Homo-oligomer: A and B are copies of this chain.
Amino acid sequence: MLVKEMMDKDFIVVTPDEDLVEVSLLMEKKRKFTTPVVDDQKRLIGWITSLDVTRGLRENLKEVKDVMHVKDDVIHVKDNDPARLAVLEASQHRVVSIPVVDEEDVVVGVVRTFDIVKTLSSLYEIKVYKIFEAMNNELKGVTWDELMEASAIVTRRRTGKRVTAQDYEKRIRDSTFGEAIWATGGLEKFFVGLIAIGELVIARKVAQARK
Protein backbone atom coordinates (compact mmCIF):
# COMPACT_ATOMS: atom_id res chain seq x y z
CA MET A 1 0.00 0.00 0.00
CA LEU A 2 1.32 3.41 -0.98
CA VAL A 3 0.85 6.81 0.61
CA LYS A 4 -1.30 7.91 -2.34
CA GLU A 5 -3.81 5.15 -1.54
CA MET A 6 -4.21 6.33 2.04
CA MET A 7 -4.00 10.13 1.64
CA ASP A 8 -6.94 12.51 1.75
CA LYS A 9 -7.28 14.48 -1.50
CA ASP A 10 -9.75 16.87 0.13
CA PHE A 11 -7.34 19.39 1.65
CA ILE A 12 -6.73 23.12 1.70
CA VAL A 13 -3.54 25.04 0.93
CA VAL A 14 -2.61 28.65 1.59
CA THR A 15 0.05 30.98 0.19
CA PRO A 16 2.51 33.13 2.21
CA ASP A 17 0.83 36.42 1.29
CA GLU A 18 -2.66 35.41 2.36
CA ASP A 19 -4.35 37.42 5.06
CA LEU A 20 -4.40 35.62 8.43
CA VAL A 21 -7.99 36.56 9.20
CA GLU A 22 -9.11 35.06 5.87
CA VAL A 23 -7.04 31.95 6.58
CA SER A 24 -8.60 31.55 10.04
CA LEU A 25 -12.06 31.71 8.46
CA LEU A 26 -11.07 29.10 5.86
CA MET A 27 -9.55 26.72 8.43
CA GLU A 28 -12.62 27.02 10.69
CA LYS A 29 -15.01 26.46 7.79
CA LYS A 30 -13.08 23.40 6.58
CA ARG A 31 -12.34 22.29 10.16
CA LYS A 32 -8.60 21.88 9.53
CA PHE A 33 -6.07 22.27 12.35
CA THR A 34 -3.17 22.37 9.92
CA THR A 35 -2.56 23.41 6.33
CA PRO A 36 0.38 23.27 3.92
CA VAL A 37 1.75 26.56 2.61
CA VAL A 38 2.55 26.50 -1.12
CA ASP A 39 4.14 28.75 -3.73
CA ASP A 40 2.39 29.83 -6.95
CA GLN A 41 3.27 26.45 -8.51
CA LYS A 42 1.51 24.64 -5.62
CA ARG A 43 4.90 23.40 -4.36
CA LEU A 44 5.28 22.80 -0.63
CA ILE A 45 7.21 25.61 1.04
CA GLY A 46 5.87 25.51 4.60
CA TRP A 47 3.17 24.71 7.06
CA ILE A 48 0.88 26.48 9.52
CA THR A 49 -1.33 25.20 12.31
CA SER A 50 -4.37 26.75 13.97
CA LEU A 51 -2.08 27.44 16.96
CA ASP A 52 0.15 29.59 14.73
CA VAL A 53 -3.02 31.40 13.68
CA THR A 54 -4.15 32.04 17.28
CA ARG A 55 -0.73 33.54 18.00
CA GLY A 56 -0.90 35.64 14.82
CA LEU A 57 -4.36 36.97 15.65
CA ARG A 58 -3.36 37.72 19.23
CA GLU A 59 -0.16 39.51 18.20
CA ASN A 60 -1.91 41.30 15.34
CA LEU A 61 0.29 39.74 12.65
CA LYS A 62 -1.10 40.14 9.16
CA GLU A 63 -0.04 37.37 6.78
CA VAL A 64 0.67 33.64 6.62
CA LYS A 65 4.39 34.28 6.14
CA ASP A 66 4.53 36.00 9.54
CA VAL A 67 3.69 32.73 11.35
CA MET A 68 4.55 29.87 8.98
CA HIS A 69 7.14 27.12 9.54
CA VAL A 70 9.45 26.76 6.58
CA LYS A 71 9.75 23.53 4.67
CA ASP A 72 12.90 22.14 6.28
CA ASP A 73 10.97 21.83 9.55
CA VAL A 74 7.95 20.19 7.96
CA ILE A 75 7.47 16.43 8.08
CA HIS A 76 6.28 15.35 4.64
CA VAL A 77 6.12 12.19 2.53
CA LYS A 78 5.98 11.42 -1.19
CA ASP A 79 2.87 10.02 -2.87
CA ASN A 80 4.80 6.91 -3.97
CA ASP A 81 6.32 6.24 -0.55
CA PRO A 82 5.06 3.11 1.25
CA ALA A 83 2.06 3.91 3.47
CA ARG A 84 4.07 2.45 6.37
CA LEU A 85 6.40 5.45 6.19
CA ALA A 86 3.57 7.89 6.87
CA VAL A 87 2.42 5.68 9.75
CA LEU A 88 5.90 5.68 11.31
CA GLU A 89 6.32 9.45 10.82
CA ALA A 90 2.94 10.21 12.40
CA SER A 91 3.62 8.04 15.41
CA GLN A 92 7.22 9.21 15.87
CA HIS A 93 6.63 12.95 15.45
CA ARG A 94 3.17 12.99 17.05
CA VAL A 95 1.63 15.08 14.27
CA VAL A 96 -2.04 15.05 13.29
CA SER A 97 -1.42 15.27 9.56
CA ILE A 98 1.38 15.01 7.03
CA PRO A 99 1.47 16.75 3.63
CA VAL A 100 2.08 14.53 0.61
CA VAL A 101 4.08 15.81 -2.38
CA ASP A 102 4.75 14.40 -5.85
CA GLU A 103 8.11 14.25 -7.63
CA GLU A 104 7.94 18.00 -8.35
CA ASP A 105 7.25 18.84 -4.68
CA VAL A 106 3.67 19.78 -5.56
CA VAL A 107 1.24 19.09 -2.70
CA VAL A 108 -1.15 16.35 -3.86
CA GLY A 109 -2.73 15.24 -0.58
CA VAL A 110 -2.59 15.07 3.17
CA VAL A 111 -2.36 11.96 5.36
CA ARG A 112 -4.40 12.48 8.54
CA THR A 113 -3.90 10.39 11.67
CA PHE A 114 -7.57 9.44 11.87
CA ASP A 115 -7.34 8.04 8.33
CA ILE A 116 -4.30 6.03 9.42
CA VAL A 117 -6.31 4.78 12.41
CA LYS A 118 -9.10 3.78 10.03
CA THR A 119 -6.70 1.89 7.75
CA LEU A 120 -4.92 0.13 10.61
CA SER A 121 -8.09 -0.71 12.48
CA SER A 122 -9.68 -2.21 9.35
CA LEU A 123 -7.07 -4.96 9.76
CA TYR A 124 -8.18 -5.39 13.35
CA GLU A 125 -11.81 -5.46 12.41
CA ILE A 126 -11.59 -8.50 10.13
CA LYS A 127 -13.76 -11.34 11.48
CA VAL A 128 -11.81 -14.27 12.92
CA TYR A 129 -13.90 -16.79 10.98
CA LYS A 130 -12.47 -15.33 7.74
CA ILE A 131 -9.08 -16.58 8.89
CA PHE A 132 -10.57 -19.98 9.67
CA GLU A 133 -12.21 -20.10 6.25
CA ALA A 134 -8.83 -19.43 4.65
CA MET A 135 -7.31 -22.13 6.86
CA ASN A 136 -10.08 -24.55 5.94
CA ASN A 137 -9.54 -23.94 2.21
CA GLU A 138 -5.82 -24.49 2.64
CA LEU A 139 -6.09 -27.75 4.59
CA LYS A 140 -7.30 -30.05 1.83
CA GLY A 141 -9.44 -32.94 3.01
CA VAL A 142 -10.35 -31.32 6.33
CA THR A 143 -14.00 -30.41 6.77
CA TRP A 144 -15.26 -27.28 8.51
CA ASP A 145 -16.75 -29.45 11.27
CA GLU A 146 -13.43 -31.22 11.85
CA LEU A 147 -11.72 -27.84 12.07
CA MET A 148 -14.25 -26.55 14.63
CA GLU A 149 -13.94 -29.79 16.64
CA ALA A 150 -10.13 -29.49 16.72
CA SER A 151 -10.44 -25.81 17.71
CA ALA A 152 -12.75 -26.68 20.61
CA ILE A 153 -10.32 -29.39 21.81
CA VAL A 154 -7.34 -27.02 21.69
CA THR A 155 -9.31 -24.34 23.52
CA ARG A 156 -10.35 -26.84 26.24
CA ARG A 157 -6.73 -27.94 26.67
CA ARG A 158 -5.43 -24.38 26.91
CA THR A 159 -8.10 -22.71 29.00
CA GLY A 160 -9.65 -25.61 30.91
CA LYS A 161 -13.06 -24.28 29.85
CA ARG A 162 -15.74 -26.59 28.44
CA VAL A 163 -16.18 -25.32 24.89
CA THR A 164 -18.07 -27.21 22.20
CA ALA A 165 -17.41 -26.98 18.46
CA GLN A 166 -20.70 -25.04 18.21
CA ASP A 167 -19.61 -22.58 20.91
CA TYR A 168 -16.32 -22.10 19.11
CA GLU A 169 -17.95 -21.46 15.76
CA LYS A 170 -20.29 -18.89 17.27
CA ARG A 171 -17.38 -17.18 18.97
CA ILE A 172 -15.30 -16.77 15.80
CA ARG A 173 -18.32 -15.54 13.87
CA ASP A 174 -18.89 -12.80 16.41
CA SER A 175 -15.34 -11.75 17.16
CA THR A 176 -12.75 -9.78 15.27
CA PHE A 177 -9.01 -10.28 14.85
CA GLY A 178 -8.44 -7.25 17.12
CA GLU A 179 -10.57 -8.73 19.90
CA ALA A 180 -8.89 -12.13 19.48
CA ILE A 181 -5.41 -10.60 19.79
CA TRP A 182 -6.38 -8.68 22.89
CA ALA A 183 -8.14 -11.74 24.32
CA THR A 184 -5.29 -14.19 23.71
CA GLY A 185 -2.61 -11.76 24.86
CA GLY A 186 -0.84 -10.84 21.65
CA LEU A 187 -0.24 -11.68 18.04
CA GLU A 188 2.23 -14.52 18.64
CA LYS A 189 -0.11 -16.24 21.09
CA PHE A 190 -3.01 -15.91 18.68
CA PHE A 191 -0.95 -17.52 15.91
CA VAL A 192 0.35 -20.24 18.22
CA GLY A 193 -3.27 -21.15 18.99
CA LEU A 194 -4.04 -21.37 15.29
CA ILE A 195 -0.93 -23.47 14.65
CA ALA A 196 -1.93 -25.84 17.46
CA ILE A 197 -5.34 -26.24 15.85
CA GLY A 198 -3.74 -26.84 12.45
CA GLU A 199 -1.40 -29.43 13.95
CA LEU A 200 -4.20 -31.27 15.72
CA VAL A 201 -6.45 -31.36 12.69
CA ILE A 202 -3.61 -32.74 10.56
CA ALA A 203 -2.71 -35.33 13.21
CA ARG A 204 -6.34 -36.47 13.31
CA LYS A 205 -6.45 -36.68 9.52
CA VAL A 206 -3.27 -38.80 9.49
CA ALA A 207 -4.66 -41.05 12.24
CA GLN A 208 -7.92 -41.57 10.31
CA ALA A 209 -6.01 -42.40 7.12
CA ARG A 210 -4.13 -45.14 8.97
CA LYS A 211 -7.30 -46.81 10.29
Q: Which residues of A contact B (CB under 8 A)?
A: 1, 21, 24-25, 27-28, 31, 33, 49-51, 53-55, 57-58, 82-84, 87-88, 90-91, 94-96, 112-114, 116-118, 120-121, 123-124, 126, 130-131, 133-135, 137-139, 177-179, 181-182, 187-189, 191-192, 194-196, 198-199, 202-203, 206
Contacts and interface: CB of A to CB of B under 8 A. Distances in A.
Contacts of A84: 124, 178-179, 182
Nearest to A50: B50
Given A114-B94, A126-B187, A54 B27 contact: yes
Nearest to A86: B117
Given A178-B84, A182-B84, A199 B138 contact: yes
A149 B104 CA distance: 46
30 contacts: A21-B58, A24-B54, A33-B33, A33-B51, A49-B50, A50-B50, A50-B53, A50-B54, A53-B54, A57-B57, A82-B182, A83-B182, A87-B124, A87-B178, A88-B121, A91-B114, A94-B112, A113-B116, A120-B120, A123-B181, A123-B187, A126-B187, A131-B188, A134-B192, A138-B199, A191-B191, A194-B195, A195-B198, A198-B198, A206-B206
A28 B57 CA distance: 13
Given A113-B117, A194-B195, A58 B24 contact: yes
A186 to B, nearest CB: 9
A114 B90 contact: yes
B1 A28 contact: no
Complex A-B, nearest 3 residue pairs according to Cβ-Cβ distance, in ascending order = A113-B113, A50-B50, A134-B188
Given A192-B138, A199-B139, A202-B203, A121 B51 contact: no
A134 B191 CA distance: 8
Contacts of A95: 114
Contacts of A194: 191, 194-195
Contacts of A49: 33, 50
